[in-house]
Amino acid sequence: ALLYSLAISLLVYREFKLSELMGMLIRTARLTGMVMMLLAFATVIAWFLTINMVPQTLVRQVQAITQEPFLLLLIVAALLLLVGFVMDLTPAMVIMAPMLAPIVTSVGVDAAYFGVLMAFILGIGLLTPPVGTCLYVGCGVGKVSMESLVKAMLPYYAALLVVLVLLIAFPSIVTWLPDLTAVRGN
């Protein structure tokens, strides 16, 4: 795909010169390096938490509070929303998944369902300040202030929260297709 894009840009559209390629490669390498450093640090934190048995301790503490899957998922969703506000999606997944997966699976929540739910919740964080990576991109592309974009996003935040509650209340919204294919595969 890269070579195809490069060929089309050079030969058909003639939008950049071959002399610009080295600068693009350097910028790409820097950006990739930053992302990899984030992932490396997140992996170290997740490893540290796992070695110190934080997930097991959390399982015991949360089980003391509730065994009800719906209530537990609401608590976990609130926690993940808070994490999503201050941390980008990928490091949050790497750090939080090993801690939260044992908790939710201990009360019978399907692991695949929880993975989808977790990605959805942390994805909301990409659209919310202060970290909101997608907000910064939107501000840059649309040449608008963060404040005006967040105000415009308020109805969408409400819709996302409604969808979140529906996903928690009705897990079959997420699992119906895998369940269907599992039945047909037998």
pLDDT over threshold 90, residue 168? yes
Confidence grade of residue 120 (pLDDT, cut at 50, 70, 90):
very high
8 lies in the same domain as 93 = no
Confidence grade of residue 183 (pLDDT, cut at 50, 70, 90):
low
User: Is residue 185 assigned to a domain?
Assistant: no
- What is the phi/psi pair of residue 68, to 5°? -80, 115
SS3 17: coil
93 lies in the same domain as 172 = yes
> How far apart (Å, rounded) are the C-alpha atoms in residues 174 and 164?
11
Q: What is the mean pLDDT of residues 71-91?
A: 89
pLDDT score for 185: 47
User: Is residue 186 assigned to a domain?
Assistant: no
69 lies in the same domain as 115 = yes
Q: What is the mean pLDDT of residues 100-110?
A: 90
176 lies in the same domain as 113 = yes
83 lies in the same domain as 48 = no
User: Is residue 115 assigned to a domain?
Assistant: yes
Across the chain, mean pLDDT equals 86
Q: What is the mean pLDDT of residues 152-159?
A: 96
pLDDT over threshold 90, residue 159? yes
Q: What is the mean pLDDT of residues 102-106?
A: 89
* Greatest C-alpha distance within the chain: 65
120 lies in the same domain as 33 = no
Confidence grade of residue 114 (pLDDT, cut at 50, 70, 90):
very high
30 lies in the same domain as 65 = no
pLDDT over threshold 50, residue 22? yes
User: Is residue 165 assigned to a domain?
Assistant: yes
Q: Domain span at residue 34?
A: 1-52
pLDDT over threshold 80, residue 88? yes
pLDDT over threshold 60, residue 163? yes
81 lies in the same domain as 141 = yes
10 lies in the same domain as 59 = no
Number of domains in the chain: 2
- What is the phi/psi pair of residue 61, to 5°? -70, -40
User: Is residue 111 assigned to a domain?
Assistant: yes
pLDDT score for 43: 81
User: 15, 34, 52: which is the final residue of a domain?
Assistant: 52
Question: Which residues are within 8 A (CB) of 2 and not within 5 positions of it... i.e. 6 or more apart?
Answer: none
> With DSSP H G I counted as helix, E B as strand and the rest as coil, what are the percentages for the chain, rounded to 5?
85, 0, 15
Q: Which two tokens stand for residue 172?
A: 């079959």
**Lowest mean per-residue pLDDT among 29-43, 89-103, 140-154:** 29-43
76 lies in the same domain as 140 = yes
101 lies in the same domain as 27 = no
pLDDT over threshold 80, residue 25? yes
User: Is residue 24 assigned to a domain?
Assistant: yes
| Residues 91 and 36 sit within 8 Å (Cβ to Cβ) | no
- For 170-178, which contacts have Cβ atoms below 8 Å and span 24 or more sequence positions? 171/109, 171/110, 171/113, 174/112, 174/113, 174/116, 174/117, 175/110, 175/112, 175/113, 178/112
Q: What is the mean pLDDT of residues 6-17?
A: 80
Q: Which two tokens stand for residue 5?
A: 């894009």
160 lies in the same domain as 109 = yes
Q: What is the mean pLDDT of residues 12-27?
A: 81
> How far apart (Å, rounded) are the C-alpha atoms in residues 139 and 150?
10
CA 104, 110, 115, 117 torsion-angle sign:
negative
User: Is residue 26 assigned to a domain?
Assistant: yes
Q: What is the mean pLDDT of residues 65-80?
A: 91
